[in-house]
Structure 1
Amino acid sequence: MRLTTILLALALAFGLAACGSGKFRTYNGPEVTSIQVHKAARKMYLLHNDKVLEQYDIALGFAPIGHKQFEGDGKTPEGAYQINFRNPDSDYHLSLKISYPDENDRAFADEAGKPTGGDIFIHGHSNWKGRNKGDWTAGCIAVTDREMEVIYSMVRVGTIIYILP
């Protein structure tokens, strides 16, 4: 009887572990060849060539109109960048770093004598203690944690991201 109880408990534990939704998912579909962010519409699209694979509602920097120019301006950059780092240990669940600032961004800020800022990511919400509605980031692109798990599984370093007004 005791052995049966132990075996049932182990089977239940393994079964629950298998059903758990860890933050690292697998993706075996078409390659994401680019990402498009449409700031005015608050939408992000993952594309394979010209086919939309996934689309998401997004939150942006707290001052979303216009291109990010300086550290602390609360704007989300605009232009063509790349995903250049995947952060599995993000304070915001998971995150993908965007290659802002580029040479032009740095030159503009240098001429004004101000820092460009940086650390612009696509990320989830975890550990954010503020409100999770509207535009709330410091310039990043935010989605839900569950959506970020899917995005993280699909997008690779080197993927082009077009951030449009």
Structure 2
Amino acid sequence: MYLVKYLFLLAIITPTFVNASVDQLIKAKVDLVVVNKSESSMSIYHQGQKLKTYRIAMGDTPQGHKLKEGDQRTPQGRYTLDYKKSDSAFYKSIHISYPNEEDRLRASALGVSPGGMIMIHGQNPNSPLTPEQAQQFNWTNGCIAVTNKEMDELWRVIEEGTPIEIWP
């Protein structure tokens, strides 16, 4: 009974921002982005509080860590969203700092190129699918795709230098 009362009280006094509006997101600076590959989701956080979750599309082979250029995988680990690209071929994009030193060493040991240019980006302008349909498939070369509308939102609330964790 005490646990139920505690959880009820915690729910009342803890502010919730899950699926917050853009205006609420802008007021609460995003300080972490977390991608959960197995759930095809990306969440944005402020001081440990989840603000919003997005459905994502990834590469054709989403399981496992990116090992080499062209393997259609999205990397796993902790990186930085280090710059924005407004003239992306896929609407707008935010670059992920892959490969890091560990990724380069692993690729070197395998005798392959680790690849690069992994981004969070918008839709494929040549796709015949609606944005909602496209998000049901893994169609990128290892990037993380959202709809253009969602990309506009992320563009406004994510600053360069924000950390990103990509989980299996």
TM-score grouping bracket, smaller chain normalisation: 0.7 to 0.9
**How many percent of aligned residue pairs carry the same amino acid?**
38
Aligned-pair CA distance for 1:111: 1.2
- Match of residue 110, structure 1, among 87, 90, 108: 108
**Structure 2 residue 161 is the aligned partner of structure 1 residue 163:** no
Aligned-pair CA distance for 1:128: 3.9
- The unaligned stretches of length 5 or more in structure 1 are 1-24
**Residues 7-46 of structure 1: pairs in structure 2 closer than 5 A:** 28-46=26-44
Determine the C-alpha separation between the residues in 2 that align with 1:105 and 1:161: 16
Runs (4+) of structure 1 moved beyond 3 Å?
A: 25-28, 128-131
Amino acid at match of 2:113: P
**Residues 16-165 of structure 1: pairs in structure 2 closer than 5 A:** 28-129=26-127, 132=134, 133-165=136-168
1:51–1:91 distance in 2 versus 1, CA, 3 Å: same
1:112–1:130 distance in 2 versus 1, CA, 3 Å: farther
User: Residue deviations 1:64-116, cap 9 Å, x none?
Assistant: 00000100000000000000110111111111000000000000101111100
- The unaligned stretches of length 5 or more in structure 2 are 1-21
Determine the C-alpha separation between the residues in 2 that align with 1:28 and 1:72: 36
TM-score by length of 1: 0.81
Determine the C-alpha separation between the residues in 2 that align with 1:130 and 1:101: 32
Determine the C-alpha separation between the residues in 2 that align with 1:105 and 1:65: 16
SS of residue matched to 2:120: strand
Q: Is the 8 A contact 1:37 1:43 kept in 2?
A: yes
Aligned residues: 141
